[in-house]
Amino acid sequence: MRINQAVKAVGVVGIISIVVTACLWNSCSKQQVHIIRDAQAVPSDFQAEFHHRGTNSIKTSIGVGGNNNVKYHEIDCFINDDYPIKCRREGHEVFLPFSFVQKYFEVYGKLEIGEKSERLVFQHSNSKVHPPRQTYSPGGVFMSFEFYHVEERDRVKCISAMEGVPFSTQWTPEGHFYPVQIAQVLVMEDGEEEDTADWAKPDSRAKISLLLDNSKNHVVEFQVSDSLKNPGLVMIADEKEDYVMTVDVFFISNGSLTVSVETRSGQTFNIHYVLTSTLIAMENTDIFYGLGPERNHWIHLARDIKIDLQKGLSLKYSKVRRTKSRYQFSRIRDIAVRGHGRLDNLTLARSAHMDHFFAAADWLAQHQDSHGGWPIVVARKLLPEVMELPPGWYSAMAQGQAMSLLVRAYLVTSNPKYLQAAVSAMKLFEISSDQGGVLARFLGQYAWYEEYPTSPSSFVLNGFVYALLGLYDLKETAKGDDGKMATRLYEAGMKSLKAMLLMFDSGTGTFYDLRHITIGIEPNRARWDYHTTHINQLLQLIVIDSDPVFKTTAQRWIGYMKVCHTAEHPAAQSCQ
């Protein structure tokens, strides 16, 4: 009985299934299958969906019946008959991954993600073309260096608290004082200052008093335990905008000055400026900068607290991790002193350009050698086993930028030590590169001041132009025989530049140097950042020299960044 009922049930289900299948088949056969073959003919209901993150939710089948919003599918792209990468096709368009485009074409880009939209910002170069000022003066801002912050560069380990100048890891992880980076502190304007508030004592044993020194300045004398475990004499700052601290401090005993910084996540890091020869160190949430071991003399500090925080974190965390909001500067909580000493001129401001400027000028004046140069103490391998420089070489770029900075220091202060240092820096311009100087000659005729004085010569363009600008600043400032020498060197260099400039034009960009001519190897194409530097240098030269070669060349090189070099290119209309 039960078996008969089961058989009947199965039969009913089978009949129903047949009927339903037939109906569905009949309904579906009335629909048309839409194969998208032309991107111009995509119906309105085939709009691509917006995806905030990734593409995991995107189906990869062709839309059917207008019910599927998918527009593209994955295909293989074969690069130069060499290797495949995954691409996506949408109609007649094929899209390559930007990570591939970025590396292959040496361009830059980043995603900007907002609350309701996201976009890719694409650029040929991280640096920008800056229109020059209408006039150029040795006493004014150098080129567009107000946009250039050498202390933020990854290859600057930190700003030395002992010297007040950048300490570089260029070409060596051990680090060295690289005169090119030191001389690039060429901005002289400062922000507004904010006087700090009152000091709070940690206990009754701590002492603080107000003194009047010989210059009528108000000097604070402090005496408290020098232990870092002691909070010290504390000044509450609670400052978010003015994060550059300047101060003069005089330690009678062992002591330290500490700035407590809070990040956006609320985490606190303590930046200690201590009496030690250690350049920089980090332990747990404590960052240490050495002031040198000596006491009983005034120490002037000008510290960008945001930069000091990031350079300290770089000893422990990767760049990717440091850029996260958790480790970004939020505010200066307080400032503390420990030990026995005196304090003066403690301020917080938006910048301390003049302090950094004179720290660099004084370093250059103090460390110039008998040849008038600043030797680079690390080896440089421009091209291994072909173009190499042992430690102790000189750079015309360093000499030229040092001249520009020292001339400006002289014009501000009238202190002859700065001008004399700039004049002495010319000596190496008359010594050939194979004799330890920076002078090379192209075809034995055209004088060229080498950024890297290798043999055979490299003829680097940007370093040569910086050297010429230094000579220009000096010839406009120095008098008598010194001024005549600067003029002679400058004019010889400009003659060479005008004759050789077009040799650096590749037709789509620029060459960094002329190694393809001097040693007959493949050209060294300039990265877009260096190409932009070449343009900015020519724009500056236009202001001081009316030769049309600078203007026409600069315009053409700007066009290369916007695909303007050929009118037939489909993107050329964007340059109009």
For 344-393, how does the pLDDT look when each residue is reduced to its tens digit (9 = 90+)? 999 999 989 899 999 999 999 999 999 999 999 999 999 998 999 999 99
Residue 115 sits in the same domain as residue 152? no
CA distance 96 to 118: 18
Q: How confident is the model at residue 301 (pLDDT cuts 50, 70, 90)?
A: very high
CA–CA distance from 186 to each of 140, 191, 470 (Å)?
9, 15, 12
Q: Residue 170: inside a domain, yes or no?
A: no
pLDDT tops 50 at residue 10: no
Cis peptide before 84 (omega within 30 of 0): no
Chain position carrying tokens 């291994």 = 384
Q: Is 344 exposed, middle or buried (0-12, 13-18, 19+ CB in 10 A)?
A: middle
Residue 369 sits in the same domain as residue 297? no
Structure tokens at 198: 């009152």
Q: How confident is the model at residue 325 (pLDDT cuts 50, 70, 90)?
A: low
State the pLDDT at residue 542: 96
State the pLDDT at residue 387: 93
Residue 319 sits in the same domain as residue 228? yes
Select the more confidently predicted residue: 362 or 18.
362
Question: Helix crossing, 461-475 with 528-544: angle to 10°?
Answer: 30
Residue 339 sits in the same domain as residue 361? no
Q: How confident is the model at residue 570 (pLDDT cuts 50, 70, 90)?
A: very low
Residue 406 sits in the same domain as residue 297? no
CA distance 191 to 85: 51
Residue 341 sits in the same domain as residue 369? no
* Strand pairing class (286-290; 268-274): parallel
Residue 274 sits in the same domain as residue 398? no
Cis peptide before 523 (omega within 30 of 0): no
Q: Residue 324: inside a domain, yes or no?
A: yes
State the pLDDT at residue 428: 98
Contact in structure between 492 and 447 (CB atoms under 8 Å):
yes
For 390-433, how does the pLDDT look when each residue is reduced to its tens digit (9 = 90+)? 999 999 999 999 999 999 999 999 999 999 999 999 999 999 99
Task: Specify the number of domains making up the chain.
Answer: 3
In this prediction, residues 426-454 reach a mean pLDDT of 97
Residue 428 sits in the same domain as residue 346? no
State the pLDDT at residue 186: 67
Residue 294 sits in the same domain as residue 390? no
DSSP string, 393-412: B--HHHHHHHHHHHHHHHHH
Residue 494 sits in the same domain as residue 470? yes
Strands (E), 322-480: 329-349, 380-383, 387-389, 439-442, 446-449
Q: What is the DSSP letter of 80?
A: T
Residue 528 sits in the same domain as residue 423? yes
CA distance 323 to 304: 17
State the pLDDT at residue 52: 34
Boundary of a domain, candidates 350, 367, 402: 350
Q: Residue 98: inside a domain, yes or no?
A: yes
Q: Residue 225: inside a domain, yes or no?
A: yes
**CATH code of 329's domain:** 2.60.120
Q: Residue 185: inside a domain, yes or no?
A: no
In this prediction, residues 521-548 reach a mean pLDDT of 95
State the pLDDT at residue 201: 62
Q: Is 306 exposed, middle or buried (0-12, 13-18, 19+ CB in 10 A)?
A: middle
Residue 343 sits in the same domain as residue 414? no
pLDDT tops 60 at residue 137: yes
Boundary of a domain, candidates 307, 326, 350: 350
Q: Could you list the residue range(s) of the whole structural domain that residue 554 is in? A: 145-156+357-561
Q: How confident is the model at residue 228 (pLDDT cuts 50, 70, 90)?
A: very high
Q: Residue 442: inside a domain, yes or no?
A: yes
Q: Residue 548: inside a domain, yes or no?
A: yes
In this prediction, residues 288-315 reach a mean pLDDT of 96
CA distance 373 to 368: 5
Cα 302 to chain center, whole Å? 21
User: What is the amino acid identity at position 518?
Assistant: T
- Least confident range from 6-10, 186-190, 494-498: namely 6-10
Boundary of a domain, candidates 350, 372, 399: 350
pLDDT tops 90 at residue 185: no
Chain position carrying tokens 């060197």 = 489
In this prediction, residues 151-155 reach a mean pLDDT of 85
Q: Residue 264: inside a domain, yes or no?
A: yes
